[in-house]
Structure 1
Amino acid sequence: MAQATNTIDPAEVAKFEAMAAEWWDPNGKFKPLHMLNPCRLDYITQQIAAQFGRDLTAPRPFEGLRLLDIGCGGGLLSEPMARLGATVVGADAAERNIPVAKLHAEQSGLEIDYRHMAAEDIAAKGERFDIVLAMEIIEHVADPQGFTDTCAELLNPGGLMLMSTLNRNAKSYMMAIIGAEHVMRWLPKGTHEWSKFVTPDELFELIGKAGLDAVDRKGMVFNPITWRWSLSDRDLSVNYVTASVKR
């Protein structure tokens, strides 16, 4: 079957292709993700444990769970999920990301199935997962509803989808575009398009239409004094993350 491209935006893929070699440099172009990663992982692990009744104090609490990390990049989320015992498939539309991810996993002694594939192609093969991660990706696709539908298709009944993105408002423009790209220069200019940001209400509508039930959402808030990210029940004004379950 020909590679499905209905949700892939080639211009967005090209942006991340150009930065592929820097994925594991904590002070490089992906510094914001390295800073955000502990906060993301806290949310992800708590939601998986709650949904599947797992004890996070166990040595490999996610043993027996099959997880797909869509837009895996260099493996910043795939690797910790593998360490926690999950069987991990990492997929990315940017071809240059995959050798970087494979090499780092090998150096770390981890077995992760990395693929240069679109989510649609994996779904077309009939593969299904207990967990789908779609973190910081929906604001880069061409068809948000089509992408969310594909994520839902990839889940087993009762499976968990975790999706994060950026809210679309004046504050997010100032923080994510002006602040992160122009002032702090954490990201190359043009990494994000504010018009592609998705409000929580819009995302919940996409999730519902895809046949998923949204069960949780939280903000991820940066504190410029402590220089750390934390989860918030109330502040979803810029970065936020959602959990939803397949009916």
Structure 2
Amino acid sequence: MCLMTSRIEYHCTTVEKLVEEQKSFDAVLAVEVIQHVANPSEFCKSLSSLTVPDGAIMISSTEEYPIPIIIEKYLLNRLPNGTPQRLSALEPDNLVQFMKSASISFQGMAAFILHYWRANFVAFGTKPPCKD
């Protein structure tokens, strides 16, 4: 096994549990999660607290309209029962504000248009270095 892959850790848990355990990581990736949490601002603060100084934080989400979700889930049966409900429609500008309020230095964002009704976006930021 190469040195790089031997250091990668995958955790199937909650962000709050990792914060409680005082874990820290060089990079924290939250892929397609933030739109399902009740409080995105607090979620970003938790991601920031899990990241070491100068560490990287990447958050991805989708921007969708409700009609295609209903069609895919109930008419086309493409989404299995038990698929998490979407709690909030997150706008990219709101995500940037959540990151900044969590002391994450926003570095940039990219969007991927998948269909005329759906786009994925990825935001990248870093945690500022410790002040000496």
Give the TM-score range, shorter chain.
0.7 to 0.9
Give the secondary-structure state (helix, strand or coil) at the position aligned to 1:89. Answer: coil
Higher-helix-fraction structure: 1
- Comparing both chains, which one has the higher relative contact order based on Cα–Cα distances under 8 Å and sequence gaps of 6 or more? 2
Alignment of 1:131 onto 2:27: yes
Where structure 2 has 5 or more consecutive residues not aligned to the other structure, the ranges are none
Give the secondary-structure state (helix, strand or coil) at the position aligned to 1:208. Answer: helix
One of 181, 194, 208 as aligned partner of 2:100:
208
State the distance in 1 between where 2:111 and 2:82 align: 23
Give the secondary-structure state (helix, strand or coil) at the position aligned to 2:8. Answer: strand
Give the secondary-structure state (helix, strand or coil) at the position aligned to 1:241. Answer: strand
State the distance in 2 between where 1:194 and 1:188 align: 14
Alignment of 1:242 onto 2:123: yes
State the distance in 2 between where 1:125 and 1:142 align: 22
1:62-88 residue CA offsets vs partner (Å, 9 max, x unmatched):
82xxxxxxxxxxxxxxxxxxxxx2623
Name the structure 1 match of 2:42. 146
Name the structure 2 match of 1:158. 54
State the distance in 2 between where 1:164 and 1:143 align: 16
The percentage of aligned residue pairs carrying the same residue is 24
Cα distance change of structure 1 residues 182 and 240 upon mapping to structure 2, 3 Å threshold: farther
- How many aligned residue pairs are there? 128
State the distance in 2 between where 1:86 and 1:241 align: 26
Paired amino acid for 1:188: P
State the distance in 1 between where 2:44 and 2:71 align: 29
Write out aligned runs for 1:4-43 (5 A).
none
State the distance in 1 between where 2:39 and 2:32 align: 15
Please list every run of at least 4 consecutive aligned residues from structure 1 whose deviation after the TM superposition is greater than 3 angstroms: 188-195
TM-score, normalised to structure 1, is 0.45
CA offset at residue 167 of structure 1? 2.1
Name the structure 1 match of 2:74. 182
Kindly report the root-mean-square deviation, in angstroms, between the aligned alpha carbons of the 2 structures: 2.8
TM-score, normalised to structure 2, is 0.79
